[in-house]
Amino acid sequence: AIQLTQSPSSLSASVGDRVTITCRASQGISSALAWYQQKPGKAPELLIYDASSLESGVPSRFSGSGSGTDFTLTISSLQPEDFATYYCQQCNSYSFTFGPGTKVDIK
């Protein structure tokens, strides 16, 4: 099964900062990767799919890039509502895996 790793596992940042989170797959997955945001006690929300497509209604400060094994999620200017945990997710042969998550908190 394909494994996903994320780095960093956590980070502290300030409002207005540019934040980049990396997701690496154990083998190539083309562009079949999504990013989700989860706040404490809430369900995850889809941000990005197909590695770089912005889900409808998601602010444009979120962007995704990458293909193959290396992917990034970038928040161009961190807002107070963006403090949360972020997960990448892949699908290969209808076996789905999530990364371990990156927690973004307030510096």
Partner 1 sequence: QVQLVESGGGVVQPGGSLRLSCAASGFTFSSYGMHWVRQAPGKGLEWVTLIWNDGSLKYYADSVKGRFTISRDNSKNTLYLQMNSLRAEDTAVYYCARSIRHFYMDVWGKGTTVTVSS
Q: Is 68 in the site for partner 1 (CB under 8 A)?
A: no
- Smallest distance, partner 1 to C-beta of residue 46, A: 5
Beta bridge partners of 25: 4
Tokens of 65: 């890039």
Residues 83, 84, 85, 89, Cα dihedral to 10°: -100
Nearer Cβ to partner 1, position 16 or 94?
A: 94
Q: Is 105 in the site for partner 1 (CB under 8 A)?
A: no
- Smallest distance, partner 1 to C-beta of residue 29, A: 10
Nearer Cβ to partner 1, position 74 or 97?
A: 97
Q: Is 54 in the site for partner 1 (CB under 8 A)?
A: no
Q: Is 101 in the site for partner 1 (CB under 8 A)?
A: yes
Q: Is 83 in the site for partner 1 (CB under 8 A)?
A: no
Question: Judged by CB under 8 A, how many residues of this single chain contact partner 1?
Answer: 24
Distance from the Cα of residue 51 to its chain's centroid: 9
